[in-house]
Amino acid sequence: METGLTIVALLIGLAGLVYAWLVRQDLDKATRRLDRYNRSLYDASDQIRKLEERQAATVAELRAEIARSSGKASFRPAMSVRESYALHPQAQEILAAYHMGGCSSCAVELDDTIAQVCTNAGIDVGQVISDLNSLLAGQQSANGYANGNQRVKLPNLSLEI
C-alpha cells in the first residue's frame, strides 16, 4: 500500500514538474514577445521624436522665409531660438557672444524664446535683440563687427567620448 502511495506521489510530483516546465516555457515566450514589443515601441518613439524635430526645424525655416519675403524680417523677444537661427546664419554667433548657446556649458533649448533665454542668463533682452537686428540691417562698426561686438568662432568639430 505504501508503495502505491509513493508511486502516486511521484506521479503527482512529476506532473507538477511538467506543468512548471510548461509554464516556464510560456513565460519565456511571453518575455521574448514583450521585449520585441518594447523594442518596437522604442523605435517608434525615436522616429516620432526625429519627425517632431524635423517639423520644428521646417516650421522655423518657413517662418523665417515668410518674414524675409514679406520684408518684415526682424528679431523679436517672442521668437524662438530656432527661428532666430533660421532667420540669419550669424544669430548663433551673436547669442554665443552672450554665452547663450554655442557650447555645452551655455547650451540653450532651441524651442525657448529669446526672452526666456536672456532672462535665464540674466542678460538684457533689448541689447540682444538690437545686436541681432543689426545683423539684418548690415550695420558694421569701425572694427568690422556689428555693433562693435567681435564675432565668436564656433568650433567646427565635435568630440565623441
- For the chain, the structural domain boundaries read 1-70, 74-155
Q: What is the DSSP string of 69-120?
A: HHT-----TTSBHHHHHHH-TTHHHHHHHTTSSSSGGG---TTSBHHHHHHH
Yes or no: say if 125 and 114 are a contact pair by the CB < 8 Å rule.
Answer: yes
At 137, list the grid cell: 540691417
For 57, phi then psi, to 5°, come to: -65, -40
* pLDDT for position 150: 53
What pLDDT digit, counting tens, does each position of 79-118 carry? 999 999 999 888 888 888 888 876 666 778 888 999 999 9
CATH of domain 74-155: 1.10.3910.10
What pLDDT digit, counting tens, does each position of 110-157 carry? 889 999 999 888 888 999 999 999 888 874 433 344 444 554 455 555
At 152, list the grid cell: 565668436
- Provide the whole-model pTM: 0.62
For 75, phi then psi, to 5°, come to: -85, 140
At 56, list the grid cell: 520644428
Yes or no: say if 75 and 69 are a contact pair by the CB < 8 Å rule.
Answer: no
What are the Cα distances from residue 155, in Å, to 89, 102, 103, 112, 158?
Answer: 15, 8, 9, 23, 8
Yes or no: say if 91 and 133 are a contact pair by the CB < 8 Å rule.
Answer: no
More confident residue, 122 or 39: 39
Average pLDDT for 20-46:
96
pLDDT of 54 higher than 90: yes
CB atoms within 10 A of CB 46: 10
Q: Residue 113: name the closest of 86, 76, 65, 88 by CA.
A: 76
At 91, list the grid cell: 544669430
